[in-house]
Amino acid sequence: MKINLNEVTLPTIHTDPKSVILTDDTMMARKESFLAQMKSHSIDTAIIYADREHGANFEYLTGFIPRFEEALLVVHATGENYLLLGNENLKLAAHSRIEAKAIHVPFFSLPNQPMTGEKTLADHFKESQISPDAAIGIIGWKLFTSSQYDNSGLFDLPFYIVDSLIDYVSERTQLKNFAHALISPESGLRTTHNANEIAHFEYGATLAGIGMFNATQALEVGKTEKEVGALLAQDGQPNTVTTISAAGQRFTNATLYPRDNEIKLQDNYSMTVGYKGGLSSRAGFAAYSQDDLPDNQKDYLEKVGKPYFRAYATWLENIEVGVVGDKFYSMIEDIFPSEVYGWTLNPGHYTGDDEWMASPFYPGSKAEVKSGQMFQVDIIPSVSGYSGASAEEPIAVADQALRDELKQHYPETWKRIEDRRNYIKNVIQIELSDDVLPLSDTVAFYTPFFLNKTLAYTKEV
C-alpha cells in the first residue's frame, strides 16, 4: 500500500448535531442484561462505585455520575436497588434511570461538610439489604489483567470502603472483582451497543470532530495554544480526557494544559479533544511543507508519517464483524512493527462513556469484534528523534440489521455516517467494509502540515 500527500477537498463538517437521549427501553435492557450476568456468575449482590473520574460503570445503569462526590449503586439479584449518595447528590436519586432507594452517606460528601446523620458504613450496608453471607461482585472502573496477582481479589475502590466491606462479610473470599461483567473484551455488556446507544454516542464523537476540524483549520503562526485549544471546546459538554493543544516542548513547568505559548514555524504540534462517544487527536507540524521541517526531521514523512498512515488505513480497511483480536493485533504488528515504530499500547480500544474502556487487540486475544462495538483507531508511534503522528478517531462496527435500524430510527445520524463513508472512500481512497461506521467528520482526514489546510494523506489506488 502506497501513501501520498495530496491536495484534497475538505470533509463535510456537520454543525449543530442534536443530542440523542437514551430511551427507557435501552436502560431497562441494560438492567436486565446486568441481572443476567449476575445470575450466570452466581453473584447475589453487585456494588458499583463511582466518582467524577470513574463513573461510567455506575452511569451505565443510573444515567448519571455523582459529579464531585463518591457514590455506590447496590444491585441485588432480586432486582432491588439502592443508591448510596453524599450530601449534594442525594437529590439525583429521584432522577435515576433505574428505580433505586436513596440512602444518605455523609462519608461520600466533600471534605469538612456536615456529617449529619452519620452512621458506620456497616450500618449503610445493612440499610442496603446486603447480607454478610452474600456473594458480592465489586465494580470500580478497572479490568485487572495482572499475571502477578489473583485479579478477582483486586479492588480499585477507596480503601475505607473496601476495608469496611471486608469487616462486614463473613469471609473475604465472598468479595470478587466483577468489572469483567461490564467491560471485558469477551463478554462485557458495555462493549456492545444498540442503535439508540450508537446514535447517543455519535453526538459526542461528532463534537470531537467539529472541534478538531475548527482547531486545525485555525492554527497559524503567532497564535497561542490557548487560542487554538479554545476551538476544541463544544456545546459545553464534559470532556473524557484532558484537552491538549501544545506547541514545541510539552509539559514545561509540569503544565498539562494549553499555555500562552505562541506557535512558531517548524514547531511540532499536538491536539486532542474527547467527548462521550469519541476522541479526535492530531500530531504534526506548524509547517506548510516538508521544506519547513526541522533539519533533523526532513525525512519525517518517510520515517514516521507515511508508515503511520499506512497502518491507519490498514486498520480501517480490515476492521469488521468477526475479526479476532489476536489476528488484528498481528496484522498491525506486521505492517507497523512496534520494535521499529515504538508503539507500546493496544492498537485500538473500545470507547463510549469513558474514552478507554478496554481493548480486544492484544497478543493471544480470542475476543471477536461484534456488531454494535465502538472503537478508537489508536496507534501511537514513538520513533527516537522524530515528532509523533496521530489521527486518532472513533468508529462503530455494525451488521446489516443494526445499520438498518440506525437508518430507520436515526436518519440524521445515518446521513452523517454516509457522508463520512463516502468521503473516506472517494477522497482519501480508503476502502471500508459495510460494517464500518465513522462517528466523526474527521476520520481519516489528516493534514500533517497544519499550515497547509488541504494537503492530506491519501491512499494511492
d(CA 211, CA 228): 10
Instruction: Tell me the CATH number at 401.
Output: 3.90.230.10
Half-sphere CA count of 347, side-chain side, radius 13 A: 30
Tell me the average pLDDT across 298-309: 98
Instruction: Tell me the CATH number at 56.
Output: 3.40.350
Q: Do both 154 and 210 map to the same domain?
A: no
DSSP string, 155-184: --S-HHHHHHHHHHSS-GGGEEE-THHHH-
Place of cell 456494588: 47
Q: Is residue 30 part of a domain?
A: no
Q: Do both 132 and 95 map to the same domain?
A: yes
Task: Evaluate whether 287 touches 216 at the Cβ level (below 8 Å).
Answer: no
Nearest to 242 by CA among 205, 210, 281: 281
Q: Do both 104 and 134 map to the same domain?
A: yes
Looking at residue 313, its pLDDT comes to: 98
Q: Do both 168 and 206 map to the same domain?
A: no
Q: Is residue 202 part of a domain?
A: yes
CA angle 269, 213, 210 (to 5 degrees): 130
Q: Do both 132 and 58 map to the same domain?
A: yes
pLDDT of residue 381 exceeding 90 = yes
Q: Per the structure, how many domains does the chain have?
A: 2
Place of cell 454516509: 418
Q: Do both 239 and 383 map to the same domain?
A: yes
Q: Cell numbers of 274, please?
A: 474527547
Q: Do both 387 and 316 map to the same domain?
A: yes
pLDDT of residue 259 exceeding 90 = yes
Q: Among the three residues 144, 177, 210, which one is the final residue of a domain in this structure? A: 177
Q: Do both 245 and 320 map to the same domain?
A: yes
Q: Among the three residues 142, 177, 212, which one is the final residue of a domain in this structure? A: 177
d(CA 138, CA 155): 7
Q: pLDDT band at 459, cuts 50/70/90?
A: very high
Q: Cell numbers of 173, please?
A: 473470599
Q: Do both 10 and 47 map to the same domain?
A: no
pLDDT tens digits, 173-192: 999 999 999 999 999 999 99
Burial 30-52 (b: 16+ CB within 10 A, else e): bbeebbebbeeeebbbbbbbbbe
Q: Do both 157 and 107 map to the same domain?
A: yes
pLDDT of residue 203 exceeding 90 = yes
Q: Do both 334 and 430 map to the same domain?
A: yes
Place of cell 476544541: 232
Chain-centroid distance of CA 75 in Å reads 25
The answer to whether the predicted template modeling score (pTM) of the entire model surpasses 0.85 is yes
Name the average pLDDT for the chain. Answer: 97
Q: Among the three residues 177, 200, 228, which one is the final residue of a domain in this structure? A: 177
CA angle 237, 453, 202 (to 5 degrees): 30
Task: Evaluate whether 100 touches 82 at the Cβ level (below 8 Å).
Answer: yes
Q: Quick one: 338 exposed, middle or buried, by C-beta within 10 A (0-12, 13-18, 19+)?
A: middle
pLDDT tens digits, 74-112: 999 999 999 999 999 999 999 999 999 999 999 999 999
Looking at residue 395, its pLDDT comes to: 98
Residue 438, sorted as left (phi over 0), alpha (psi -120 to 50) or beta, turns out to be beta
Residue percentage of the chain with pLDDT more than 90: 100
d(CA 206, CA 182): 25
Tell me the average pLDDT across 272-295: 97
| 3 state DSSP class of 87 | coil
Q: Cell numbers of 142, please?
A: 478497572
d(CA 117, CA 91): 16
Residue percentage of the chain with pLDDT more than 70: 100
Q: Is residue 142 part of a domain?
A: yes
pLDDT of residue 397 exceeding 90 = yes
Tell me the average pLDDT across 391-412: 98
CA angle 109, 243, 234 (to 5 degrees): 90
β partners of residue 101 = 82
Q: Is residue 26 part of a domain?
A: no
d(CA 364, CA 456): 35
Indicate the DSSP class of residue 321.
T
Nearest to 176 by CA among 143, 137, 133: 137
| 3 state DSSP class of 396 | strand
pLDDT of residue 461 exceeding 90 = no
Helices (H) and strands (E) in the chain, counts: 13, 15
Q: Cell numbers of 376, please?
A: 478508537
The pairing of strands 175-177 and 136-139 is parallel
Tell me the average pLDDT across 434-456: 98
Handedness of CA 226, 232, 233, 238 (dihedral sign): negative
Domain residues for the domain of 433 are: 3-19+191-459
Q: Is residue 28 part of a domain?
A: no
Q: Is residue 351 part of a domain?
A: yes
d(CA 77, CA 50): 20
User: Which element (helix H / strand E) includes 283?
Assistant: strand 278-285
Looking at residue 76, its pLDDT comes to: 98
Q: Is residue 27 part of a domain?
A: no
Q: How many Cβ atoms sit within 10 Å of the Cβ of residue 263?
A: 22
Q: Is residue 388 part of a domain?
A: yes
Task: Evaluate whether 205 touches 395 at the Cβ level (below 8 Å).
Answer: no
Q: Do both 361 and 221 map to the same domain?
A: yes
